[in-house]
């Protein structure tokens, strides 16, 4: 509590920041709740210096992709004050994919056709599979 000119101001305590592993697992839980399928959590820290984890998941359509993106934004921002550093894809533009970059965790959501086209699972096949939800 701060005292300033005889006024008491309560500053809410922030929740502890999520570490990379906790953030990745939180994202997996949220996208699973929104019915994404074929979810794979990869530890890519030994293959690249740009991030620690990739999450790759399949969505049915762009509407679901946008709903997942919105749910992640709402839950992670409200509960943990975490926002993506960048996001690409979907919105109204089409393309069948969305990327959300949280720094140490990068989420790739693809429609089935886009996932088959980009083949990220094959590209990162040497990464350690932390979790797979089919």
Q: Which CATH number does the domain housing residue 97 bear?
A: 3.30.460.10
What six digits make up the tokens of 48? 């690249």
Check residue 20 and give its pLDDT: 92
Check residue 77 and give its pLDDT: 86
> Which residues span the domain enclosing 82?
18-133
> Which burial class, exposed, middle or buried, applies to 97 when counting CB atoms under 10 A from its CB (0-12, 13-18, 19+)?
buried
pTM, two decimal places? 0.83
Backbone angles phi, psi at 56, to 5 degrees: -120, 130
* pLDDT tens profile 88-98: 876 655 678 88
Domain count, the chain: 1
- The HSE-up count of residue 132 (CA atoms within 13 Å, CB side) is 5
13 inside domain: no
């Amino acid at each position: 509590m701060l005292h300033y000119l005889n006024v008491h101001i309560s500053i809410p305590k922030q929740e502890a920041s999520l570490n990379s592993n906790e953030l990745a697992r939180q994202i997996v839980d949220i996208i699973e709740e929104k019915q994404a399928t074929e979810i794979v959590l990869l530890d890519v820290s030994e293959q690249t210096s740009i991030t620690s984890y990739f999450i790759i998941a399949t969505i049915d359509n762009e509407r679901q992709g946008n709903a997942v993106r919105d749910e992640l934004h709402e839950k992670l921002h409200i509960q943990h004050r975490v926002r993506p550093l960048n996001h690409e894809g979907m919105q109204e533009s089409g393309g069948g994919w969305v990327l959300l970059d949280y720094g140490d965790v990068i989420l790739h959501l693809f429609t089935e056709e886009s996932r088959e086209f980009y083949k990220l699972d094959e590209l990162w096949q040497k990464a350690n599979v932390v979790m797979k939800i089919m």
